[in-house]
Chains A and B, each alone.
Chain A
Amino acid sequence: MATNTVNKFGRELESFFSLAIMNIAISGIAMALSISFIVTNLAAIDIAFEGGVVTIGPIAIWPAPQFFLAVLAFIAAGISLKWMVSSAEILSDVDDLRDEYKAISGQGGIEAKAEGATQGSDALTSLIVKTMAYYRSRKTVIRRLSLISMAGGLVFIVSGIWQAYSGLMSIGTPGAGALELGLVAVSVAISLTVGIAGIIIPRYFSKYSATWEYRLGESAKAEEELKKVLGGSR
């Protein structure tokens, strides 16, 4: 049983580490995209005003669509920054747990010793206690990260749809050549990819939380047994 537990522990830790890495990568891309959208859309507003009136097809409008995109990009940049900071916090903690796991198992430790020796069993139990304590103290951050990731994903999907719409509306207008439309298509594809990733990632966080909530619930039952042996608490 102990070897099975050790393997399960290692697999879970690796999965969570990969999830944290994925989050950092996606939030980094989201941040870079947001900044690039801010710059390009602010520049586009400036160009649009040189002609006096901003038009989409036959309709003259104010503010320019680029204004809305720039606002959206500012919101996305803020969310991405928060997303990246929260992801970095999670990654740092998981990395520490992973190092500890590697250090113990690398010494031939847990797996070799857990079969019977006290030291191996203690090392494994200690890691379980630490991970459980880690989840208890970080579950709010994990929940917040899920929400931020979801919000970031939605913003990028809206932005992608908006860019696609603007691109389609600009077809046939002066300056909208194949190259420009190609760049718009690439930008739409990246936005939608980041957006979809932002929406999928929270599902994994929910799965992780559900796994640990189950364990916390079971540990409450375990405490009842421990209380009987200990005869109370301080």
Chain B
Amino acid sequence: MRQGRRTEYEIYWEILSFCRSGKTFTQIIGRCDLNSKNGQEYLDFLSEKGYILRSNEGERNLYKTTGKAGEFLDLFARLYQELFDRGPEFKL
């Protein structure tokens, strides 16, 4: 199943949670279902914020989530789990 319509914040969260261990650009855009242009824009934004760090490991450029992103990641997980937990439940 292709990824459906996600908000920017959902995409930020996906990138940051995926990059907890260093990942290459190709791995990121593949996993997060982004095209190269959008993928680069998201990574540039997160790098500017200091949420993601680019490093060279041998011949590979790796992107890794920094500790600074922790607050965003935790808040996102808490809010999304809460909004699912609260409110109505669909039952047959």
List A residues at the B interface (Cβ < 8 Å): 1-2, 4-5, 8-9, 11-12, 15-16, 18-19, 92-93, 96-97, 118, 121-122, 124-126, 128-130, 132-138, 204, 207-208, 210-212, 214-215, 218-219, 222-223, 225-227, 229-231, 233-234
Instruction: Give the chain A neighbours of B49 by CB distance below 8 A.
Output: 230-231
List B residues at the A interface (Cβ < 8 Å): 1, 3-10, 12-14, 17, 20, 41-42, 44-45, 49, 71-72, 75-77, 79-92
In the bound complex, do residue A214 and residue B42 qualify as a contact, i.e. CB atoms below 8 Å apart?
Answer: no
In the bound complex, do residue A136 and residue B72 qualify as a contact, i.e. CB atoms below 8 Å apart?
Answer: no
In the bound complex, do residue B89 and residue A230 qualify as a contact, i.e. CB atoms below 8 Å apart?
Answer: no
Instruction: Give the chain B neighbours of A227 by CB distance below 8 A.
Output: 9
Q: Smallest Cβ distance from B35 to chain A, in angstroms?
A: 14
In the bound complex, do residue A138 and residue B4 qualify as a contact, i.e. CB atoms below 8 Å apart?
Answer: yes
What is the CA–CA distance of A215 and B7 in the complex, to the nearest angstrom?
Answer: 14
What is the CA–CA distance of A230 and B71 in the complex, to the nearest angstrom?
Answer: 9
In the bound complex, do residue B17 and residue A122 qualify as a contact, i.e. CB atoms below 8 Å apart?
Answer: yes
With A125-B77, A230-B72 already in contact, the answer to whether A130 and B17 are too (CB < 8 A) is: no
Instruction: Give the chain B neighbours of A93 by CB distance below 8 A.
Output: 1
What is the CA–CA distance of A168 and B6 in the complex, to the nearest angstrom?
Answer: 56
The one of B45, B72, B81, B90 that contacts A229, using a Cβ cutoff of 8 Å: B72
Residue contacts A-B, CB under 8 angstroms, 27 given: A1-B85, A18-B92, A19-B92, A97-B1, A121-B81, A122-B17, A124-B77, A125-B76, A128-B84, A133-B3, A133-B6, A136-B4, A136-B5, A208-B90, A212-B90, A218-B87, A219-B83, A222-B79, A226-B9, A226-B75, A226-B76, A229-B72, A230-B12, A231-B49, A233-B8, A233-B12, A234-B41
With A12-B89, A129-B14, A234-B45 already in contact, the answer to whether A124 and B4 are too (CB < 8 A) is: no
Q: Smallest Cβ distance from B29 to chain A, in angstroms?
A: 15
In the bound complex, do residue A229 and residue B91 qualify as a contact, i.e. CB atoms below 8 Å apart?
Answer: no
What is the CA–CA distance of A17 and B88 in the complex, to the nearest angstrom?
Answer: 18
Q: Smallest Cβ distance from A149 to chain B, in angstroms?
A: 15
In the bound complex, do residue A222 and residue B88 qualify as a contact, i.e. CB atoms below 8 Å apart?
Answer: no
In the bound complex, do residue A125 and residue B80 qualify as a contact, i.e. CB atoms below 8 Å apart?
Answer: yes
Q: Is the interface of A mostly helix, strand, loop or mixed?
A: helix
What is the CA–CA distance of A214 and B13 in the complex, to the nearest angstrom?
Answer: 21
With A15-B92, A126-B14 already in contact, the answer to whether A223 and B20 are too (CB < 8 A) is: no
In the bound complex, do residue B20 and residue A118 qualify as a contact, i.e. CB atoms below 8 Å apart?
Answer: yes
What is the CA–CA distance of A69 and B85 in the complex, to the nearest angstrom?
Answer: 50
In the bound complex, do residue A215 and residue B20 qualify as a contact, i.e. CB atoms below 8 Å apart?
Answer: no
In the bound complex, do residue A5 and residue B7 qualify as a contact, i.e. CB atoms below 8 Å apart?
Answer: no
What is the CA–CA distance of A204 and B49 in the complex, to the nearest angstrom?
Answer: 44
The one of A130, A208, A219 that contacts B7, using a Cβ cutoff of 8 Å: A219
Instruction: Give the chain A neighbours of B79 by CB distance below 8 A.
Output: 219, 222, 225-226
